[in-house]
Chains A and B, each alone.
Chain A
Amino acid sequence: MIELKLNGLNVKAEEGWTLLETARFYGLEIPTLCYNEGLSVFGGCRLCLVEIGEGPKARLVSSCTYPAEEGLVVRTDTKRVIEARRMMIELMVSIAPNSKKIQDLASKFNVTQVRFKVRNEECVLCGLCVRMCAEQMDGRAIGFQNRGYKKKISTPFDLRSEECRQCGGCIYICPVCQLRCQGPEADTTLCNACLTMDPTCLDHYDELQCWMYDAGRCGTCVREK
């Protein structure tokens, strides 16, 4: 067993667990988008960021890829973490505002503005479909192509792939194309209709003051606002 400190508590993790698995085992709800239990980890969406270490050496790492280490100090909800997550959500909303999953995340983390040019690209390059196809469906029909701002997911030569059995696994797992959000309009981008949660204690403290937020039930202090 590995012993580490999670949000000030001494917890134990099994050999080979990641920080995300450890945190989820203890009931902390760390948001993820590109993570799926049945697939290999990707570390692409950066929503699962947590802060490790203390003082000036503290840094943000993606908890889905970082293995639990002996004596590690992990904080899952510092101001820095939540601000970083908000930025990631804001960026993703600007790319794919029609995704219900991303809009829900925006509401949940109180992303109230999108300062980036809205691109309506319908793909955030989370790679779920690529891994789904290769790992679960044994297909390897789609993959990443090009690099940098030209990066995209497609079949070879953008034609129907011989490897594709049209199982639909890629569509099933896609956070953007399956569930559509009807809320955002051209001038608003953000929907924020389904739920709004804002931990008000962050205005006064550097860290969350209770575990309810992680359990998805941050309550009274928010509604008083």
Chain B
Amino acid sequence: MDAVITTVQSTLTRHQNEKRALIAILQDIQAEYNFLPREALEFVAKSLGVPLIDVIGVATFYRAFSLKPRGRHLVTVCLGTACHVRGGPKILSEFVKKLAISPGDTTKDKHFTLETVACLGCCAIGPVVVVDGNYYAHTTIRKVDSIVRKYAKKRVKK
């Protein structure tokens, strides 16, 4: 786990070990690892002189941070009111079936993470599915398969 410490150390140096940069530091670590490793959080707390519990309070407060390892592709299904009435839950259950994971979990091969969100603010194009920042408007159950296939692992040709 020394590799984590080294990476985090360089992130901290980039932010001059400033307490006020805590969120920015966590964002950098999240970008690097796709989640916040425990060692990284402990090291950040120690280096900044911030109680560990406060670092964790921040890390658990924001949805952008995850304490569990996330997959390479983040699938977010909107379940806000507008998307809900247009069939958001059905699309979610289709993803659950296709990926064989429940919301909040990651596939075993660490390829997909499935998450739900309460509203993305673009209700007009609902039901919305977001994969890695790409929006899929007016999603239907039929479109789920093509979305999954688009991001599925590229098969190595033999």
**CB-defined contacts of A157 to chain B, threshold 8 Å:** 38, 56
Interface presence of A143 (CB below 8 A): yes
Q: In chain A between 134 and 169, which residues have their CB closer than 8 angstroms to a CB of chain B?
A: 134, 140-147, 155-157, 161, 163
Q: Are A161 and B56 in contact (CB under 8 A)?
A: no
**CB-defined contacts of B6 to chain A, threshold 8 Å:** none
Q: Are A156 and B60 in contact (CB under 8 A)?
A: no
Q: Are B54 and A143 in contact (CB under 8 A)?
A: yes
Contact of B56 among A134, A156, A163 (CB under 8 A): A156
- Pull 14 A–B residue pairs with CB atoms less than 8 Å apart, ordered by A: A140-B51, A140-B53, A142-B53, A143-B51, A143-B57, A145-B57, A145-B60, A147-B61, A155-B53, A156-B41, A156-B52, A157-B56, A161-B52, A163-B52
**CB-defined contacts of B60 to chain A, threshold 8 Å:** 145-147
Residues of B at the A interface (CB closer than 8 Å) are 38, 41, 51-54, 56-57, 60-61
How many A-B contacts if CB must be within 8 Å? 33
Q: Are A141 and B53 in contact (CB under 8 A)?
A: yes
Category for how many chain A residues contact B: 10 to 19
Q: Considering the chains assembled together, what is the distance between the CA atoms of A144 and B55 in angstroms?
A: 11
Q: Considering the chains assembled together, what is the distance between the CA atoms of A52 and B53 in angstroms?
A: 37
Q: Are B56 and A143 in contact (CB under 8 A)?
A: yes
Residues of A at the B interface (CB closer than 8 Å) are 134, 140-147, 155-157, 161, 163
Name the distance in Å between B88's Cβ and chain A's nearest Cβ.
Answer: 19
Q: Are A163 and B51 in contact (CB under 8 A)?
A: yes
Among A134, A143, A161, the one with the most B-chain Cβ atoms within 10 Å of its Cβ is A143
Q: Are B56 and A145 in contact (CB under 8 A)?
A: yes
Name the distance in Å between B5's Cβ and chain A's nearest Cβ.
Answer: 18
Q: Considering the chains assembled together, what is the distance between the CA atoms of A88 and B136 in angstroms?
A: 43
**CB-defined contacts of A144 to chain B, threshold 8 Å:** 57
Name the distance in Å between B7's Cβ and chain A's nearest Cβ.
Answer: 20
Q: Are B53 and A143 in contact (CB under 8 A)?
A: yes
**CB-defined contacts of A146 to chain B, threshold 8 Å:** 60-61
